[in-house]
Amino acid sequence: MISTTNKITAPCMSTGMAIKMQLELLRLNSISGSEGAILSSVAKLGKDIKMQLEFFRLHPED
């Protein structure tokens, strides 16, 4: 049987890792100065954060 903690931890960890990767891409793109790549990284980062916030909104008791 899967515990509530495991149900919460897995999505959070995967989304957290996605956010971490997007921040690293944003850092690297800002160094290279590619405006299109920076905008793309910011958009993906925003999407990952939005998904994380929506997950917590839907599961406040967990």
Contacts of 42 (CB under 8 A, 6+ apart): 26
pLDDT at residue number 2:
40
Q: Residue 9 and residue 35: Cα distance in Å, rounded?
A: 34
Q: What's the sign of the alpha-carbon dihedral 43, 30, 13, 57?
A: negative
What pTM was computed for the model? Answer: 0.54
Q: How confident is the model at residue 6 (pLDDT cuts 50, 70, 90)?
A: very low
pLDDT in tens, 18-53: 778 878 888 887 887 778 877 888 888 888 888 888
Q: Is 49 exposed, middle or buried (0-12, 13-18, 19+ CB in 10 A)?
A: middle
Residue 15 corresponds to which tokens in the numbers above?
């989304």
Residue 46 corresponds to which tokens in the numbers above?
């925003």
